[in-house]
Amino acid sequence: MQCRDAIYIGGSWRRPAGRSRLAVTNPATDEKFAEVPCGTAEDVACAVDAARAASDKWRAVPVAERIAALTRIKAGIMARADEIATTISAEMGAPIGFSRAAQVGLALRDLAATIDAASALEDERVGSSLVSREPIGVVAAITPWNFPLHQLIAKIAPALAAGCAVIVKPSELTPLSAFALAEIVDAADLPAGVFNLVPGAAETGAALAGHPGIDMVSFTGSTRAGRAIAGLAARGLKKVALELGGKSANIVLDDADFATAIPAAVAQCVVNSGQVCAALSRLLVPTERVREVEALAVAAAEQWTLGDPAEPATRLGPLASRAQQARVQTYIDMAAKEGARILTGGSAQPEAMPIGAYVAPTVLGSVHNAMKVGREEVFGPVLSIMSYDGEDDAVTKANDSDYGLSGGVWSSEPRRALALSRRLRTGHVVVNGAMLDVEAPFGGVKMSGYGRECGRYGIEEFVSLKSISGIRVAELVE
């Protein structure tokens, strides 16, 4: 049993104000294996005071020194990469191979892209004015459990690069990776108060979002929670960046290589047990090829075998919690009642994994947008196959969604793929299975939120533009 007794505020570990604790449970075994403090409104207030005291000092630090600090943090993560990957696997069930390559690997890529982009934070001349990019101030970073380290770094790194002080509230399901990051930041010799960690549940996040000393809230999570965060922040007219849910469509055009595209499309839906906000969970295929696609999808899904996340050979682990498992099971049962065909998988506890929050990779046929499983985010390894008749119909069905986070297009003709990508109302499109580009902007439209992460676009979220106009002002800056 791992027991954490302190939280990180003002450059030191200190006892929390309250006595409440958060239990951390391994979703593969149902065993509680750690406890951490649950931060209170009083702890939040202390963290805000520390961050505000540090904010003016940190914003005055040259960009080169901020980059050096991020480089030290990156080195610290690399030195503890295997330990952190193992922790994340235990916290939320990601297979250890995926945890090393993606859970930790993606965070390191985020840092590298932010470090490369940070040097572009320069003043510029516009007309007769000088336009400067100044840090927005104290940032509350509220992060989810599906990619705990990546989501922390995607907010912390650009905020620190921009010159902001940050207060982190990780998911109550996955706080241990955040504690590891706090230890790494502590060793990186940042000024006291620039980075603060206050773990907790929804009440802690609400206290952060509503605190008058917070200048910006960056939140990743469900659309429901995002609305609540935005409402609290709006009372103080704080800037808010929201990366929320998705129900993304993956369009396979008739000229695609189906033998390659369909197995890859299954992977784009079920990887990380489908717990990916940008998961391409709606597979749109030509009507005349539906049966062929169904057979290919079933064969591919059945290759995603379930197993112990600690075993290197495991492809899929459990969902992050029993509550998430129950949610996904409910959606599968609901889909069947609405007329969808369960082609493989299903809602039952898999026979091979009688213990743990497991759901078998599930492929649904005969799904349409009027069904709940066709419109609402399942956040599990559930692929819905839909048919279309012509490109216009494909675009109409893809865009018929409350969400707009991601999308996919498969075609053997690049110009055709690009033309179709431009018609999708979404913040991100993946063509022919391309990997996430951490230098390009990532974020959504519609109910998927607003704001962008990654590279220089991520840094821009944490700056405020100031124009200084006057006689020959621009000429004074070389």
Give the residue numbers annotated as catalytic, written as ranges: 243, 277
Can you tell me the distance from the alpha carbon of 407 to that of 454, in angstroms, rounded to the nearest whole number? 18
pLDDT tier at 478, thresholds 50, 70, 90: low
H or E stretch covering 99 = none
220-263: pLDDT as tens digits: 999 999 999 999 999 999 999 999 999 999 999 999 999 999 99
Q: What percent of the chain stands above pLDDT 70?
A: 98
120: pLDDT strictly greater than 90: no
Can you tell me the distance from the alpha carbon of 96 to that of 35, in angstroms, rounded to the nearest whole number? 22
| pLDDT recorded at residue 351 | 95
Can you tell me the distance from the alpha carbon of 166 to that of 184, in angstroms, rounded to the nearest whole number? 15
- Residues 76, 80, 82, 86: is their CA dihedral positive or negative? negative
Q: Determine phi and psi for 10, rounding to 5 degrees.
A: 65, 30
| pLDDT recorded at residue 122 | 83
Q: What is the mean pLDDT of residues 389-417?
A: 98
Residue 408 burial (10 A CB sphere; 0-12, 13-18, 19+): buried
Q: Are strands 138-142 and 216-220 parallel, antiparallel or unpaired?
A: parallel
Can you tell me the distance from the alpha carbon of 145 to that of 239, in angstroms, rounded to the nearest whole number? 23
354: pLDDT strictly greater than 80: yes
13-57: pLDDT as tens digits: 999 999 999 999 999 999 999 999 999 999 999 999 999 999 999
H or E stretch covering 30 = none
Domains and CATH numbers, the chain: 2-244+448-468 (3.40.605.10), 249-431 (3.40.309.10)
Per residue, the 3-state secondary structure of 329-387, as one string, reads: HHHHHHHHHCCCEEEECCCCCCCCCCCCCCCCCEEEECCCCCCHHHHCCCCCCEEEEEE
Q: What is the mean pLDDT of residues 325-344?
A: 98
Phi/psi-derived region of residue 427, left when phi > 0, alpha when psi is between -120 and 50, beta in every other case: alpha
436-477: pLDDT as tens digits: 999 999 999 999 999 999 999 999 999 999 999 986 654 665
2: pLDDT strictly greater than 70: yes
pLDDT tier at 181, thresholds 50, 70, 90: very high
In 7-40, alpha helices (H): none
- Residues 144, 150, 154, 157: is their CA dihedral positive or negative? positive
119: pLDDT strictly greater than 90: no
Q: Which residues pair with 124 in a beta bridge?
A: 131
129: pLDDT strictly greater than 60: yes
